[in-house]
Homo-oligomer: A and B are copies of this chain.
Amino acid sequence: MPTPRIPAARVEIPAARPGRVDVAAQILGEATRLFAAHGFDGVSLADIAQAVGIRKPSLLYHFHSKDMLRRAVLETLLARWNDVLPKLLMAATSGSEQFDAVISKTLAFFIEDRDRARLILRELLDRPTELQPMIETHVRPWATLVSDYIRRGQDQGRLWIDVDPEVYVAHVTLLVLSSIATFEVIAALAPKSPANSPRVLLERHTHELLRIARTSLFRPRGRDPESTTHE
């Protein structure tokens, strides 16, 4: 590093860190952000350390290797997912409103922190085999539950019979992930008009995503008055 590095002023602010927040958590946060933005290989330990405001060895004191840091990031993400999963499963019992709720909640989980979507999409591309077991344990149950729900709905005639339940679920999930992960870029396709603030654009995107998911699943209600499935 060309910066002469002033001897780190070893004297000043000796104990001036009272309300010191958990450094490990800070590292985890910055790592998440940077991995999501540039990928695991695109970020160096020094980058992360700098973002946190510490030196590399201090970082390695908390996480013994770069790969362990990556796994920690992933595990925290999955832990958060496990927090919301039960709510999703409870909502996934019957009716179209419930279905909407499930997708909306899933969507909300990723919109709340878009890095989640980016991170997962990256892992999907970079380490598919390593991700497989996690998928198996964390999304398989959710996916089969929704699939079963779909199959029941098909039997009852409420859903299109030509839906391929598992594949449908996979596609909608992927669509959620990728459209959130790449929102900025994709959004730039539509704008031109100043009426498109990122705020309203995101709203349009999630709304349309829900519409696609819904329309391609549910058969139109008994009769619907001219046009539309108005929500």
Binding site for B on A (CB under 8 A): 38-42, 118, 121-122, 124-126, 128, 131-132, 135-136, 139-140, 143, 157, 160-164, 166-172, 174-175, 177-179, 181-182, 184-190, 204-205, 207-209, 211-213, 215-216, 219-220, 222-231
Cβ contact within 8 Å between A229 and B160: yes
Cβ contact within 8 Å between B168 and A132: no
Complex formed: what's the CA distance from A122 to B118 in Å?
10
Q: How many copies does the complex hold?
A: 2
Query: What are the 8 closest A-B residue pairs judged by CB atoms, nearest first?
Result: A41-B41, A178-B178, A166-B190, A167-B208, A212-B216, A215-B216, A128-B185, A41-B42
A162 to chain B, nearest CB (A): 5
Cβ contact within 8 Å between B160 and A227: yes
A143 to chain B, nearest CB (A): 6
A46 to chain B, nearest CB (A): 15
